[in-house]
Amino acid sequence: MNVQLQRALLEEEAMDQLLNELEPFVYRVAFHLTRHQQDAEDLTQEVLYRICKRLSTYRSDCTFQSWVYTMTLNLHRDFLRKKKSRPTEELPDRFSSVSFEGEVDTRILIHRMLEQLPQIDQHIVLLRFQNDLTVREVAQIMDISESNVKTRIFRLRNRLKSYFDKGGEPL
């Protein structure tokens, strides 16, 4: 276990510093998974809380970032299970969302394309491009080879290009 993690176990100030450093990464992952600001904030808070409680259980057999990422994914799965068990009601028509026709937003097209990808590819895109991790770090977190990550990124870029060439039509 590295020095910063050991200090965080012993000193409150070091724990605060560690959590402040992790928060942006955890939030980006949580937002990508939930696509909802409030849910992402709630998930981030829960992950950071769990890190505080379970830091002593971290083993150095994987990178710390991988451990945090896995914890975020697992808590998101728990969140989805809880959400499915809650009854939902449809809003009346007067509360329906407003459509902004004619406004083409590249982010919306990218999100649509990402939603059509297998989950592993979504995670690779999130880690590599949104969190600016290296191919090696992505491979470690996803527990796949670096060449597999590179191949998937190459194919994803080609799919993204064809997606935009077709004007956002399904792949």
Average pLDDT for the chain: 82
CATH 3.90.1300.10 for domain 105-165: no
Quick: pLDDT tens for 55-104: 999 988 888 999 999 999 999 998 888 877 655 555 444 444 444 443 44
Angle between helices 64-85 and 135-142 (to 10 degrees): 50
Sign of CA dihedral 154, 124, 122, 147: positive
Asked if 3-85 and 105-165 have one fold, the answer is: no
Distances from the Cα of 91 to the Cαs of 17, 18, 33, 59, 98, in angstroms? 42, 41, 24, 47, 13
Q: Where are the alpha helices (H) located in 105-145, listed in sequence order?
A: 106-115, 119-125, 135-142
Query: pTM (2 decimals)?
Result: 0.60
User: What separation, in Å, do the N-terminal and C-terminal C-alpha atoms of the chain show?
Assistant: 44
Q: pLDDT higher for 170 or 161?
A: 161
Q: Which CATH number fits domain 3-85: 3.40.1350.10, 3.40.50.300, 1.10.1740.10, 3.40.1180.10?
A: 1.10.1740.10
- Residue spans of the domains in the chain: they are 3-85, 105-165
